[in-house]
Amino acid sequence: MSEKVVQPGPTHPLPMPAWLSLAGKTAVVTGGGTHLGQAMALALAELGASVHLVGRRGAVVDAAAHALCAQGHGAWSHAADAADPEAMTAVVADVVRRHGQLDVMVCNAGGGQGADMAPNIRLEDLEATLRGNVGTTMVSAQAAAQVMMPRAQGAIVTVGSIHGTLGSDPRLYGPGFRRSSQSYHAAKGAVVNLTRALACEWAQHGLTVNCISPGQIPKASIDPVTRSRFLADVPLGRLGEPADLKGAIALFASPAGRWITGQNLVVDGGWSAW
């Protein structure tokens, strides 16, 4: 039997498939000036979206937006508190004024308040942490939904954490490492289930709402003791990097995820699979 040999032709870059492209789309990323938010904003821009970065520190989001523009992307910055309904309504209104619509809202703003652990957590720290995670998510999602619903389309992406579904082992942390308190666990757990509730409520309006829960993606300043202990608990054998969230945000924000809603995608190198 003869074998037919097909000679490969010259290779050319293929255009981005329509089911992944965000060309002509607009996106807002709260907490978009640093770390995880910055990486997700870059991913959206690389898919073709015009990206608006929101953060309380104007200089930080300005710098991040300028960095995106320097790479040839369309980016804008807004100094605003994502937990402030009036501020986020104004941000969304500016996006619509500039581009005609809002297609993607990434509710990334978050963080923890206070360093005390239970049973010494102060109520004011708990309330501040809930505001900084659940409040920012609800406010940003609602501001986006108000303009997405009339068009019957839009993707809302929330950002949880493995701490939203798991406890943490205090034995893993080196001396002086600032751990996430139980307030943060409670807040991120609320974000995960708020995502499900919003997905069910807004599906009738054509919106998708999904959550990304990152694992251990530390900043460079992490101490070597904690780093080595974390490594031992990651099946894939390395700690995460901000760019490791690019695939998840691309899935949920693009047409590739148009039939996915109410889900919590854990991106943790297998940490939670042990």
Q: Say how far apart CA 180 and CA 196 lie, in whole Å.
A: 24
Tell me which amino acid residue 100 is.
Answer: G
Contact 271, 162 (CB under 8 A): yes
Residue for token pair 């986020």: 88
Is the backbone peptide bond immediately before 119 cis, with ω within 30 degrees of 0? yes
DSSP-derived secondary structure for 13-32: PPPPPTTT--TT-EEEEETT
Residue among 197, 201, 82 at smallest CA distance from 149:
201
Contact 53, 64 (CB under 8 A): yes
Residues 86-94: contacts with CB within 8 Å, 24+ apart?
88/30, 88/54, 88/139, 88/140, 88/143, 89/143, 89/146, 91/28, 91/52, 91/54, 91/143, 92/28, 92/143, 92/144, 92/146, 92/147, 94/52
Q: How far is CA 33 from CA 68, 90, 176, in A?
A: 11, 19, 26
- In the chain the first and final C-alpha atoms are separated, in Å, by 50
Residue 49 burial class via C-beta count within 10 angstroms: exposed 0-12, middle 13-18, buried 19 and up: buried
User: Quick check: is 173 catalytic?
Assistant: no
Pick the catalytic residue from 76, 184, 202, 230: 184
At residue 113's C-alpha, the angle toward residues 116 and 34, to 5°, is 130
- Catalytically active residues are 184
